[in-house]
Amino acid sequence: MKILGRHLIAEYTKCNGDKLDNLEHIKHSLLEAVRRSGATIVNSVFHRYAPQGVSGVVVIAESHMSIHTWPEYNYAAVDFFTCGQTVDPYLANEYLKKSLGSTKATVTEIPRGIPSISQEILDHKPTGSDQSDKTASAIS
């Protein structure tokens, strides 16, 4: 695979249900997690559901980070999808897990990219003729 990014899928269990249902807490926590990872925030959207639960996504220059909460189960599903080598999604994961009071969490890392025989990490944002050359060779 020609790796363009890393996708962490996190399952947070045994969280604090009140925090999972608090829109402002979720917003602050996810934005702070993004900052701690070294990512560049582009935009964000958060929504609280009735009767409970919060979803949010932060679009970053390096991809996105998102959360969906189920306070009634003390559970949150989180995605940290980052491209390039400058962002550390594990820093975001550690901060967010603590902020939500999760005492049990699992994280799965999935490399994202272009299927290929060779294994290599591609530049996040190649410039000029490099980009078309790499895209053409990656597809073949």
DSSP 71: G
Location of structure tokens 């400058």: 86
Q: Is the bond preceding 51 in cis, omega lying within 30 degrees of 0?
A: yes
The one catalytic residue in 29, 37, 63, 102 is 63
Which residue type occupies 60?
Answer: I
DSSP 122: P
Nearest to 33 by CA among 100, 92, 88: 92
The one catalytic residue in 37, 83, 99, 102 is 83
For 45: left if phi > 0, alpha if psi spans -120 to 50, otherwise beta; the answer is beta
The one catalytic residue in 44, 68, 116, 124 is 68
116 flagged as catalytic: no
83 flagged as catalytic: yes
Catalytic residues: 63, 68, 83
